[in-house]
Copies of this chain bind each other. A is one copy, B any other.
Amino acid sequence: MHIREEAAAMKLAAPEMAAASAEARNQALEYIAQGLEENRDRIFAANAADLRAAEEASLSSAVMKRLRYDETKMRDSISGLRQLQSLPDPAHRVLLERELDEGLVLQKVTVPIGVIGVIFEARPDAMVQVAALCLKSGNCAILKGGKETAETNRVLFSIIKESALKAGLPESCLLQAELHTEIDELLSCDREVDLLIPRGSNAFVRYIMEHTRIPVMGHSSGICHIYIDGTADLTKAIPLIVDAKVQYAAACNAVETLLVERGAAERLLPPIASALDAAGVRLRGTREAADLVGRTAGLPVEYMEEGEFDTEYNDLVISLKLTEDVREAVSHINRFGSHHTDCILTEDDAAADYFLRMTDSAGVYRNCSTRFADGFRYGFGAEVGISTGKIHARGPVGLDGLVTYKYLLNGKGQIVGDYASGRKQFHHRDLHRETRG
């Protein structure tokens, strides 16, 4: 397959896809839902083949769990597809309508971005979700899933593509890339592809960011912090910190570093460290934090250097550090964090206010787990990824992050010369402004 030729055809089809009606796009989602039901045996057989290959390759049970596509996951896919259908169309919305002068009307209208390349991990449910988000938002998409689910993805993609065509969407609206070598070809398609969304390991995402001129949306790392201020309520703090670390340690929104206010560390840190230790978390920390935990809780803490605080463990390991106050905590987070999601535990409104205002992250929380950073939990219906960039979209990215806008100007022959010379004046009267989340 020649990605560039296919991407060029897709680029030309993109305006047609963008102009497709919301009904046609929703119909495609419904056909996918029906297609999954109708092809369950084929899908599960393909998935069984992937699982056998994974077993032969001795992949870990955690990975195996992600590769599996069973009744439960299919039910989730189908309910996700139905939920997406019920969401309002993110495209074709008039954000602003302004009369610049008599008979000269400007409209700012949302439109799909165009051609989006999504490279995602080996998870069959991701294939369905990503394709559905792109179709719902009116974008053409090139989809490359992890090779460990190649058989399942092939079947799923054929159902998805068939559904899109049956609903009347353009032939070139979707393309599956299957070979790892095609990724480099995709990265070079900066005239054809409008946006890349890579998901996966930090090293992989960084590789993508460094090897393409296409705009990239996503996150290379999730170094999330919890700062425990002196007024924190331990009865809330302990289960919350354990949840943020242990509930799914490999997630990008799991906490990696605990910062504790020095003046209250003797009270706060020992029970927190004990709870983490009991949950199977390995403790690392500055000499000061390590000594305190060793002395008060009798737990071993591995010494770590200041420079190591930019580590994302993705595992049951956590870094500990004491800070003088909320200011030092924020400055540590802004320096060592990845601008993903950071939380303060406090009963003090002034400290919370400072933290929420000054922390330069996509998500800034008070008294709740960092694990809430997720499109479903935010009520976006689904997410295509989480962005730690500041341009375009930030945090969990749902349908709104997959559209841009264009300006339409309708006139009756107006020329700029009349306004430049002062013969005419703009009056800039807003006829309409739409609500936008």
* Residue in chain B with minimal CB distance to A8: B335
A240 contacts chain B at the CB level, 8 A cutoff: yes
Beyond A365-B408, A408-B356, whether A391 also contacts B391 by CB under 8 A is: yes
Contacts of A373 in B (CB 8 A): 407
Q: How far is the CB of A84 from chain B (nearest CB, A)?
A: 15
- Determine the distance from Cα of A428 to Cα of B87 in the docked complex, in whole angstroms: 14
Beyond A15-B334, A378-B100, whether A239 also contacts B413 by CB under 8 A is: yes
Give the interface segment out of A208-216, A289-297, A312-320: A208-216
Contact with B along A394-426 (1 / 0, CB 8 A): 111000000011111111111111011000001
A436 contacts chain B at the CB level, 8 A cutoff: yes
Contact A413 B334 (CB under 8 A): no
* Residue in chain B with minimal CB distance to A357: B19
- Determine the distance from Cα of A369 to Cα of B414 in the docked complex, in whole angstroms: 6
Contact A331 B100 (CB under 8 A): no
- Determine the distance from Cα of A373 to Cα of B416 in the docked complex, in whole angstroms: 10
Contact B12 A331 (CB under 8 A): yes
- Determine the distance from Cα of A222 to Cα of B217 in the docked complex, in whole angstroms: 26
Contacts of A236 in B (CB 8 A): 412-413
Give which listed residue, B407, B415, B436, contacts A364 with CB less than 8 A: B407
Give the interface segment out of A106-114, A166-174, A261-269: A106-114
Q: 14 A-B residue contacts at CB 8 Å?
A: A12-B331, A18-B357, A100-B377, A100-B378, A195-B390, A239-B415, A240-B415, A364-B406, A365-B408, A366-B408, A368-B410, A391-B392, A394-B407, A434-B436
Residues of A within 8 A of B (CB): 12, 14-16, 18-19, 95-96, 98, 100, 104, 106, 108, 113-114, 194-195, 209-210, 213, 215, 217, 233, 235-237, 239-240, 243-244, 247-248, 330-331, 334-335, 352, 356-369, 371-373, 377-379, 389-392, 394-396, 404-417, 419-420, 426, 428, 433-437
